[in-house]
Amino acid sequence: MIVNTSPDGNAAGLVRFSCPMCRSTLEAELKLQNARISCPRCRHTTAVPAPSLPPGSVIAGGRILRFLGGGGMGEVYEVLLADGRNGALKILKKGRTEAEDLVSFRTEAELSIRLNHSNVIHGWEYGEHEGQPFLISEVVQGRTVEDLLRRRTVIDEREALRLCLSVCEGMAYAWKEARIIHRDLKPANIMLTRGNIVKILDLGVGIRADQTSKEYLAIGTPPYMSPEQASKPKSIDHRSDIYSLGACLYEMVTGIEPYQGSANDVIQQVAHHAPPPPEERRPGISNSISALICRFMARDPSRRPQTWEDAALEIRDLLEPKSVGATPEKLTSINTYVAADDRGAFTWLWALIFGAFAALGLGWFFMVRSGLIK
Q: Given a cut of 70, is residue 131 above it in pLDDT?
A: yes
CA–CA gap between residue 271 and residue 226 (Å, rounded): 8
Answer yes or no: do 16 and 130 share one domain: yes
**Residue 30 vs residue 116, higher pLDDT:** 116
Average pLDDT for 37-53: 81
Phi/psi for 62 (5° steps) reads -115, 140
| All residues at 6 or more sequence positions from 150 whose CB lies less than 8 Å from its CB, including other chains | none
Contact 46, 26 (CB under 8 A): yes
Q: Given a cut of 90, is residue 1 above it in pLDDT?
A: no
Answer yes or no: do 173 and 312 share one domain: yes
Active-site annotation holds for 317: no
pLDDT mean across residues, the chain:
79
The answer to whether position 373 is within a domain reads no
Contact 250, 242 (CB under 8 A): no
The answer to whether position 123 is within a domain reads yes
Answer yes or no: do 223 and 114 share one domain: no
Answer yes or no: do 175 and 129 share one domain: no
Answer yes or no: do 265 and 167 share one domain: yes
Answer yes or no: do 176 and 87 share one domain: no
The answer to whether position 78 is within a domain reads yes
Contact 56, 66 (CB under 8 A): no
Contact 117, 97 (CB under 8 A): no
Answer yes or no: do 136 and 160 share one domain: no
SS3 state of residue 108: helix
The answer to whether position 196 is within a domain reads no
The answer to whether position 194 is within a domain reads no
pLDDT exceeding 70 applies to what percent of the chain? 75
Answer yes or no: do 226 and 133 share one domain: no
Amino acid identity, residue 145? V
The answer to whether position 164 is within a domain reads yes
The per-residue pLDDT for range 217-232, each reduced to its tens digit, is 677 889 999 999 988 8
Answer yes or no: do 117 and 65 share one domain: yes
DSSP per residue over 10-46, as a string?
-EEEEEEEE-TTT--EEEEEGGGTT-EEE-TTT--EE
Structural domain span for residue 19: 2-141+346-361
Given pLDDT bands bounded at 50, 70 and 90, which one contains residue 330?
A: low
Q: How many domains does the chain have?
A: 2
Answer yes or no: do 255 and 177 share one domain: yes
Given pLDDT bands bounded at 50, 70 and 90, which one contains residue 137?
A: very high
160-174, 179-193, 314-328: least confident range: 314-328
**CATH number, residue 350:** 3.30.200.20
Q: Given a cut of 50, is residue 343 above it in pLDDT?
A: no
Max distance between CA atoms of the chain, in angstroms, equals: 59
The answer to whether position 193 is within a domain reads no
Contact 246, 297 (CB under 8 A): yes
The per-residue pLDDT for range 61-96, each reduced to its tens digit, is 899 998 887 665 778 889 999 999 999 999 887 766
Q: Model pTM?
A: 0.79
Amino acid identity, residue 177? E
**CATH number, residue 263:** 1.10.510.10
DSSP per residue over 243-304, as a string?
HHHHHHHHHHHHSS-SS-S-HHHHHHHHHH-PPPPHHHHSTT--HHHHHHHHHHT-SSGGGS
At residue 346, the pLDDT reads 36
Strands 207-208 and 180-181: antiparallel
At residue 57, the pLDDT reads 92
The answer to whether position 202 is within a domain reads no
Q: Given a cut of 70, is residue 116 above it in pLDDT?
A: yes
- Residue tagged active-site, from 8, 101, 147, 184: 184
At residue 262, the pLDDT reads 83
Answer yes or no: do 163 and 310 share one domain: yes
117-121, 231-235, 342-346: least confident range: 342-346
Answer yes or no: do 173 and 68 share one domain: no
Contact 328, 195 (CB under 8 A): yes
